[in-house]
Structure 1
Amino acid sequence: MKLEIISPEKTYFKGDVDSVTLPGILGPFQILNNHAPLISLLTKGLIEFSTNGHIKEMKISDGFVEVSNNNITVCIDPIKKKVKLDE
C-alpha cells in the first residue's frame, strides 16, 4: 500500500506501508491491504504505520483520511513541533 501524510505546508511521509492505524473520531482503526474505499475524520491521537519491518509513529491534532485502491492519503493540520519519525 502507498501512504502519504500531508499538511497544507509539507509532506511528512510518502512511501510503502504494510498497515496503518489511525485515530478515528469513534476510536482507532486499522487499514490493511485491499481495504474498502473510505473517507473518515481523524481526531487528536497517534498515527502508527509499519514500513520495512519498522513501526513508525506520529502525533496529530486532527485531519481526515481517504483510502482508495491501496492508496492512503492522510491530510492533517500542520504540526507545531518538529516531527521525528522513530526508526
Structure 2
Amino acid sequence: MEKNFHLEIITPQRVVFSGDVIDFAAPGTNGGFEILKNHAAFITSIKVGEIRVRQTDGYDDYYATSGGFVEVHDNKVIVLAETCEKASEIDVNRAKLAHERELKRLEERSNLDPNGAMQAIARARNRMRIAERRLKR
C-alpha cells in the first residue's frame, strides 16, 4: 500500500517544494503536528520553527519557516509560509549577523519595537539551528 501524499510549500517569492512525501511535521501555533497519508482535513497556522519533510526514499529534509498556514485535504498538504528555507540554502554567517544585529539593537533600545526585535531574534536563531543541523551530517 502506497504511503505517499502530495506536499507543496509556497512562499510569496517562490515554490520551495512540490512533490510526494511520506511524512510532514510542522510547528503549529498550538503545538507541533505531523501529517501522514489519509489525515483528516484541517487548516491551521504555524509559527517560527522547523519543518521536517520525509521524502519517499526515507530521507528527511529540514526547512526553517517564519510562520504561515497549512491546509490538509484529500491527501494534499499546502503550506503557505511567510518565509521558508531548506537547511542547505541557509547562509549561516548571514543568520548569525542578523542575530547579532538584533541583539545589539535590543540592548541599545534605539528606535526599536521590542516585540519585532524578539521575533527577528527568534527567526535568526531558528535559521542558525536548522543550518547547523545540516552541517552535523
1:57 to 42, 46, 62: 62
1:20 to 20, 24, 37: 24
Q: Which of the pair has the greater relative contact order for Cα pairs under 8 Å at 6+ separation? A: 1
Identity of aligned residues (%): 36
Structure 1 CA distance for aligned equivalents of residues 86 and 60 of structure 2: 19
1:35 to 34, 39, 43: 39
Partner of 1:46: 50
**What does the per-residue CA deviation read over 1:32-68, in whole Å, with 9 as the maximum and x for residues that have no partner?**
1100000000000000010021000001011000000
Partner of 2:73: 68
Larger % of helix: which?
A: 2
Detail structure 1 runs of 4+ shifted over 2 Å in the superposition: 81-86
Structure 2 CA distance for aligned equivalents of residues 83 and 29 of structure 1: 20
> TM-score normalized by structure 2?
0.58
- Per the TM alignment, residue 83 of structure 1 is displaced from its structure 2 partner at its CA by 5.5
Query: Which residues of structure 2 form unaligned runs of 5+?
Result: 90-133
Distance 1:82 1:24, change over 3 A: closer
Task: Tell me how large the CA RMSD over aligned residues is.
Answer: 1.7
> TM-score normalized by structure 1?
0.89
- Per the TM alignment, residue 9 of structure 1 is displaced from its structure 2 partner at its CA by 1.4
Q: How many pairs does the alignment contain?
A: 85
Structure 2 CA distance for aligned equivalents of residues 21 and 82 of structure 1: 14
- Per the TM alignment, residue 78 of structure 1 is displaced from its structure 2 partner at its CA by 3.0
- Structure with greater Cα Rg: 2
